[in-house]
Amino acid sequence: MASVLVPVLYVFIVFGSLFIFSSFYRRRNANKVYEPYFPRHRERDLYVTLLQRTDPPAPESLLKAALVRRAMTDVSRIIRLREDKPALQVLLQKGSIGDDLWNSLLAAEKELEAEILEVVAEANTFVEGWGQIIFQTATEMMHNERMRQTLEQIPAMRQANSRKYGRVTAIPADPNAKPAVTSPSASAPNTPQKPPAPSLPEVLGSDKPNNGSTALSAGAESVLSDGEGSTSPNSPRTPSKSV
């Protein structure tokens, strides 16, 4: 009987101690304040301040603009959470980061869900049904703002490239325009031009039949005369070829 009670008592002690430790650990984590994952939401504070203003009250157009700006910040945070959560989950499984950062991300995700519901409710107070499209509008405005910032940085980037490489890259006004093709004479005006090659009738002298012996016949006679003097009687004579 004693041999049966000893293992049962051992299992009961082990599982009881694990249960007490887990409950204590969860209670400690619940009461622990984690560092916020995102900085302070200034756009939300600005909207609440304008909404609570009574003397004089803020105009409706200003309140709508502040609400859209608040939604733009929420969209940027949603995009960052979607990009950071898988990477942090992998790092947490490998043990590269602690539980504090992961719990901070989960807390930011829950806070963002409540923020989205609040923005939708505030948008519906201005125009019925605006809460369904306010985040779509905020996303388009955010992309347009980023594109405008990129276009404004082009002159500074061009100056930086000119200081770095010592030259300025010319950007055509029309992106579909083709670069102008310059002629060799325009690109190198001081380069001496070669005279044109003589044509075949000029070399053969066919257009001047009354000038006596042509250049081709004179060249052939000189070759034949040289061949007769240099070759032996028994050696065969090779006909001359004119090119």
Tens of pLDDT, residue by residue over 120-146, are: 999 999 999 999 999 999 999 999 999
Q: Quick one: how many helices (H) and strands (E) in the chain?
A: 9, 0
- Between the alpha carbon of residue 97 and those of residues 25, 80, 182, the distances in Å are 19, 18, 62
Whole-model pTM above 0.85? no
Between CA 132 and CA 120 the distance in angstroms is 7
pLDDT tens for each residue of 154-195: 999 999 988 888 765 555 555 555 545 444 444 444 544 545
Residue spans per domain, the chain: 16-164
DSSP 130: G
